[in-house]
Structure 1
Amino acid sequence: MTAGTLTPDLLKRLQTVDTPTVCNAIEVAQGQRGFANYTRQTLLASDPNAGALVGYARTATIAALVPSTEDPAVIRQRRMDYYRYMAESTGPSLVVIEDLDGDDAVGAYWGEINTTVHKGFGLAGVVTNGVMRDLGDLPTDFPVLAGRIGPSHAFVRVEAFDTPVTVFGMEVAPGDLIHADRHGALVIPEAVIPVLADAIERLLATEKLVLEPARSASFDFAAFEQAWAAFEATRT
């Protein structure tokens, strides 16, 4: 997938809608239900009022529960290589990190320093199953969606980068297009990107068939039956 696939107009549109809308719109574009490449557990939002995160994935894995047995020089070099990889991102990009400690994740990789550094590199935010901290000190306009909150960095270090990762069931390859907000995250299939803007508009128009009558002062069951019949005739 190349950054040119995401047009400026589509990027702008995706930033105005929430992730559930995109999830449904993907099914509209595919013409069937069953899209499943999204997170399956609750993510905590550093800023619940932040807008949608949209961008191409820069990926890595980390661990922190126990000390590494690797040579410290190797760990330091990998860390610098990781930062270079993040700094060299082009186009709209965000970070997707898998904490290999899973349910035992304890080391907060995302605090004031790392969020500020990655924002400085031009990245849009983070999706991780790992830990965040320093909630009062994180930079604005850099949302973090994390699996948990904790006070310590423990023995956290980068294990690998530019590699496939899995975050709460969502499988992500480097360069995948991600949409995320306080509801969770998903991978937008490459095949639907050219038609996704139209699918979003069709989805929203279909939803209005029920929402607009339901918001009317004259709404009753008869109006609901009529609206629902029109809705059922058009929805995926």
Structure 2
Amino acid sequence: MSERMDGRLTDAELDELASLDTPTVCNALEVLAPERRGHGFSTRPFVCAYPEARPMVGYAVTGTIRAMHPPREDAATLRATRLDWYRYVDAAPGPSIVVIQDLDQPPGFGAFWGEVHTTVHKGLGALGVVTDGSVRDLDVCAPGFQMLAGCVGPSHAWVRIEHFGLPVTVHGMTVHPGDLLHADRHGAVVIPHAVARRVRATADLQARREAVILEAARAPGFNADVLARAIGEADEIH
């Protein structure tokens, strides 16, 4: 498997990560980047539009929105900002995942995401969105475009892009543009670039260790002494 000249993961490497669920990736990161154990992942539950979908793995494009009050800008300025946002998403190295922080308090007053924007952003190369804002049009959103959202709502109100290409925080997870993100129905986590290529092997090692304990726990006669032996055997697996 050849490494890309720009340092980003190959399609095959991204696919390997997508074969893991997000909790498994978090487990691997506890070993590979122990200093990250207390941050870098979502800490509040999302509404997941498609819980059975495969995890999405991609590079973050970031922005902020507001919807609760009418904008001060005129229509031409708002349109220009929206078009600049689309160009930003289009120019980003793919595959991308959109991460949107809703600045309204509470977030979710107006939905940026529905039939039109899921279709547009899918066409621009995005796999899905992670947001603390709201989503709508669930029956007619772009097929395959995953949405992890703070809530579901009916209206877009005065929703508009405020800023983009800057760090954002969504459900306790801070994301910078270009961060490698892994997300599924459990939530999302930022994978440090320095350890990304070691996540799969570390997850496989942890799975082999856990298998010893699980096999013992499911067998007749399981007790604390059997568990202690199984833990010892698991520790010997390298």
1:158 to 158, 161, 173: 161
Aligned to 2:149: 146
SS in 2 for 1:4: coil
CA deviation vs aligned residue, 1:151-183 (integer Å, no higher than 9, x gap): 010100000111111101111110000001111
Aligned to 1:220: 222
SS in 2 for 1:21: helix
The 5 Å alignment of 1:128-143 reads 128-143=131-146
Query: Structure 2-normalised TM-score?
Result: 0.90
1:58 to 46, 56, 61: 61
8 Å contact kept, 1:165–1:173? yes
CA deviation vs aligned residue, 1:160-215 (integer Å, no higher than 9, x gap): 11111110111111000000111111111122123222212222122212122233
The 5 Å alignment of 1:102-121 reads 102-121=105-124
8 Å contact kept, 1:87–1:121? yes
**2:222 maps to amino acid:** D
The size of the alignment, in residue pairs, is 232
1:170 to 162, 169, 173: 173
2:184 to 170, 181, 185: 181
**1:188 maps to amino acid:** I
Using the alignment, how far apart are the partners of 1:122 and 1:210 within structure 2?
42
SS in 2 for 1:17: coil
Aligned sequence identity (%): 46
The 5 Å alignment of 1:46-125 reads 46-125=49-128
8 Å contact kept, 1:3–1:56? no
Aligned to 2:195: 192
SS in 2 for 1:126: strand
Unpaired runs of at least 5, structure 2: none
2:29 to 23, 26, 29: 26
8 Å contact kept, 1:26–1:35? no
8 Å contact kept, 2:29–2:37? no
**1:178 maps to amino acid:** L
Using the alignment, how far apart are the partners of 1:79 and 1:196 within structure 2?
36
Aligned to 2:47: 44
Using the alignment, how far apart are the partners of 2:158 and 2:52 within structure 1?
31
CA deviation vs aligned residue, 1:130-166 (integer Å, no higher than 9, x gap): 0001111112211100000000101000001111111
Using the alignment, how far apart are the partners of 1:199 and 1:9 within structure 2?
17
The 5 Å alignment of 1:196-215 reads 196-215=199-218
Using the alignment, how far apart are the partners of 1:108 and 1:128 within structure 2?
10
Query: Structure 1-normalised TM-score?
Result: 0.91
Closer, same or farther: CA 61–104 of 1 in aligned 2, 3 Å? closer
Would you identify which runs of 4 or more consecutive aligned residues in structure 1 move more than 4 Å? Answer: none
Using the alignment, how far apart are the partners of 1:185 and 1:79 within structure 2?
26
Using the alignment, how far apart are the partners of 1:168 and 1:160 within structure 2?
18
Closer, same or farther: CA 194–109 of 1 in aligned 2, 3 Å? same
